[in-house]
Amino acid sequence: MPSPATAILLCNLGTPDAPTAPALRRYLAQFLSDPRVVEIPRAAWLPILHGIILRTRPAQSAAKYQTIWTPDGSPLAVWTNKQAVMLRGWLGEAGAQVQVLPAMRYGRPAIGAQLQALQAEGVKRVLVLPLYPQYSGTTTASVVDDVAAWTRRQRHFPELRFVNDYHDDPGYVASLAASVRAHWQREGGPADKLVMSFHGIPERNVRLGDPYADQCRTTARLLAEALGLAPEQYQLTFQSRFGKARWLEPYTEPTLVALAQAGTRRVDVMCPGFTGDCLETLEEINQEARHAFLQAGGQEFRYIPCLNDSHAWITALSRIAQRHLAGWPDM
């Protein structure tokens, strides 16, 4: 049977090949040298990156990855691969015969390598679908940059479409709400506060026009409405600050500490901007932030897993894909 002529490239941030310092050095060198991620003049930034950060941070990051690594590898890679397989199956059941390949902006499988493989198989059309519900120049635009870099090396390439964001997509919001309700059912009801932690970006990026902060707030509001939460029952925060610049606030861990010190005994914590569990959710939130909350006097920290392979999420993802595939021929 011939391969489908249309494909989806399901793109995620990336992960090191192993939880070791050499693997982290390679990964961080690629990640932190992306001008979309660190908007500092190259002449000033690269000596700091190669002279300081890549000498110290890889070993620290490797130790963190070792606490979450699975027998199948990095959780981010495991979930991204599984989502790609399930998305192809969901679309096939809906009558859309398309290939679905996972790809990573940093690390492997690289976006360019996957596009090259699709082109070699005769694919004529590719929908680039980032697993970032909220748009940011640091994430979605960087994926577009990488695709464009590959096209510049080609004499001829497939027709391309891009999904910018789906932060307010009803199916995406409904899948988040379903995950929270399932958690509440398992745990015997809501905690005192639902904390929605999104990945942060520098505040400067927003001043320059990045819509990310507004899209995170919209997602949080829509999710709270779907769950019937009053404003005082939930809190939006931002995590993963890097460097000394001011990032989006409030910061997640200090907020959790303040909640505990103010008498909040139980918190539910989720990461709506991450569609699959990864270092930032499993280690930074479920380990570090958990410890900070309990040390500050909190009594119960309940982490709500990411969407991962939930049926509601894969259904939503398939419908997002179908909308963006609309109008393309089946062959």
Identify the CATH number of the domain in which residue 224 sits.
3.40.50.1400
Q: Is residue 10 predicted with pLDDT exceeding 60?
A: yes
**Cα–Cα nearest to 36, from 154, 196, 192, 144:** 144
Whether 88 maps to a domain, the answer reads yes
Pull the structure tokens for residue 281.
């959710």
- Phi/psi of residue 39, nearest 5 degrees: -90, 60
Strand extents, DSSP E, 133-256? 159-162, 193-199, 234-239
Q: Is there a single domain that holds both residue 225 and residue 132?
A: no
Q: Is there a single domain that holds both residue 109 and residue 200?
A: no
Q: Which residues contact 298 (CB under 8 A, 6 or more apart)?
A: 256, 259, 260, 264, 265, 266, 267
Number of compact structural domains in the chain = 2
The pLDDT of residue 1: 43
Question: Are residues 299 and 193 in contact, defined by beta-carbon separation less than 8 angstroms?
Answer: no
Please write the tens of the pLDDT for every residue from 159-201: 999 999 999 999 999 999 999 999 999 999 999 999 999 999 9
Q: Is there a single domain that holds both residue 130 and residue 180?
A: no
Q: Is there a single domain that holds both residue 208 and residue 157?
A: no
End-to-end, the C-alpha distance of the chain in Å comes to 13
CB atoms near residue 38 (< 10 Å): 18
Whether 331 maps to a domain, the answer reads no
The pLDDT of residue 2: 54
Pull the structure tokens for residue 178.
């379903």
Which one-letter amino acid corresponds to residue 49?
L
| Arithmetic mean of pLDDT, 130-154 | 98
Q: Is there a single domain that holds both residue 162 and residue 174?
A: no
Please write the tens of the pLDDT for every residue from 297-322: 999 999 999 999 999 999 999 999 99
Please write the tens of the pLDDT for every residue from 104-116: 999 999 999 999 9
Strand extents, DSSP E, the chain? 6-15, 99-107, 125-130, 159-162, 193-199, 234-239, 266-270, 300-303
Q: Is there a single domain that holds both residue 11 and residue 159?
A: yes
Q: Is there a single domain that holds both residue 14 and residue 151?
A: yes
| Arithmetic mean of pLDDT, 97-107 | 97
Please write the tens of the pLDDT for every residue from 196-251: 999 999 999 999 999 999 999 999 999 999 999 999 999 999 999 988 889 999 99
Q: Is there a single domain that holds both residue 63 and residue 118?
A: yes
Q: Is residue 50 predicted with pLDDT exceeding 90?
A: yes
The overall average pLDDT reported for the chain is 97
Distances (CA, A) of 195 to 186, 229, 303: 18, 12, 10
**Cα 197 to Cα 183: distance, rounded to the nearest angstrom:** 16
Instruction: Consult the annotation and say whether 311 binds a ligand.
Output: no
Instruction: Consult the annotation and say whether 167 binds a ligand.
Output: no
The pLDDT of residue 159: 98
Q: Is residue 3 predicted with pLDDT exceeding 80?
A: no
Q: Is there a single domain that holds both residue 284 and residue 316?
A: no
The pLDDT of residue 4: 86
Whether 259 maps to a domain, the answer reads yes
Query: Which residue range(s) make up the domain with 108?
Result: 6-166+312-325
